[in-house]
Amino acid sequence: MNDKLFNQYIKALKNNDIPLINRFSELFLSNIEPNELIQRIKRFQFLDLLSLEDNKLKCEIEKILVHNNICNIINSYSVFQKGTRFYRVRLLDNQTIPNENLKDISDFWNPPVEYVRKYGRLNKPHESLLYTTFNPHTAIYEAHISTNELFVIFIYETKKDVKVPWIGSPTNYEHHNITNPKAICNHEILKNFLIDEFTRKVPQGQEQLYRITEHIAKEYFVAPESVGWRYPSIKDNGADNICFSSNNLNQNLDLVGGIVGTLCENEIFELEYVIKGGEVGNGIIYKDEEGLALFGLMFPEFNHV
């Protein structure tokens, strides 16, 4: 690639000119042989990823996602309007109602950094992020809740329109004015690689493997004014998760409240009590008339019988 073309690409990046960036991506993707790209991915998958040093791992990822110093991912974003709701589930330690795990307002948000000791899908050790989903059922799957276990569903709501990069998103090539067959083929190969990595099952004790997705998200999926990332769910096929950065979290999200319940058979949960956002320790028993009225008012999206 000549210097003039490279400088034009760098200028597009600085100006966050998404249409121009994507046209460059098409050009670069069309110059890669699909079989070569597939072989790079296979080679990566056979590496001893657990033992690789951080810098070596980053170089191996770059060999797949970057060509001639240019990232080949076509940019896609999700914009969530003010009032969009997100859900997070946490297993409770005991059956006490009201529960002693929900005494402080901080119990309803992302965990304190001192409790984050290992890599997660998008976080480093001692980095606290807020992992959420679009619906409570996906949140229950992601939290590995078993039958008869007591848990709490936290409900958050956006205070304003928010934007996040969408990892592994369906790509509307016509919308992006991308028509080159080889470029489209190669981008689908890259997208499948991303989906495979973000839905990789990581056994307990091998959390170092999360370095892959943590690095990919923060190196290749960043955007001005972004508040986090959207990525595929490992537990709920076809669903996505939203991970919010802890930066300015309270400026982007409101805590609507929490619902404490027990998972029953057939993936139905029996509600115990509800908590109004900010009124920690004042959970209202759901079976009471007041609790029933509060539940219907606060959480109309739940069709609980």
Q: How confident is the model at residue 203 (pLDDT cuts 50, 70, 90)?
A: very high
Q: How confident is the model at residue 6 (pLDDT cuts 50, 70, 90)?
A: low
pLDDT digits (tens, 9 = 90+) for 207-264: 999 999 999 999 999 888 899 999 999 988 889 999 999 988 989 999 999 988 888 8
Q: How much is the pLDDT for 305? A: 40
pLDDT of residue 163 exceeding 90, the answer is yes
Q: How much is the pLDDT for 240? A: 95
Mean pLDDT of all residues belonging to the chain:
88
Give me the mean pLDDT over the 148-154 stretch. 91
Q: How much is the pLDDT for 218? A: 96
**Top-confidence range, 21-30, 85-94, 136-145, 202-211:** 202-211
Provide the percentage of residues in the chain whose pLDDT is more than 90.
Answer: 51
**Top-confidence range, 36-50, 71-85, 86-100, 275-289:** 36-50
Give me the mean pLDDT over the 25-43 stretch. 92
In SS3 terms, the chain reads as CCHHHHHHHHHHHHCCCHHHHHHHHHHHHCCCCHHHHHHHHHHHHCCCCCCCCHHHHHHHHHHHHEECCEECCCCCEEEECCCCEEEEEEECCCCCCCCHHHCCHHHHCCCCHHHCCCCCCCCCCCCCCEEEECCHHHHHHHCCCCCCCEEEEEEEEECCCEEEEECCCCCCCCCCCCCCHHHHHHHHHHHHHHHHHHCCCCCCCCHHHHHHHHHHHHHHCCCCCECEEEEECCCCCCCEEEEECCCCHHHHEEEEEEEEEEECHHHCEEEEEEEECCCCCCCEECCCHHHHHHHHHHCCCCCCC
* pLDDT: which is higher, 1 or 114: 114
Predicted TM-score (pTM) of this structure: 0.91
Give me the mean pLDDT over the 129-139 stretch. 93
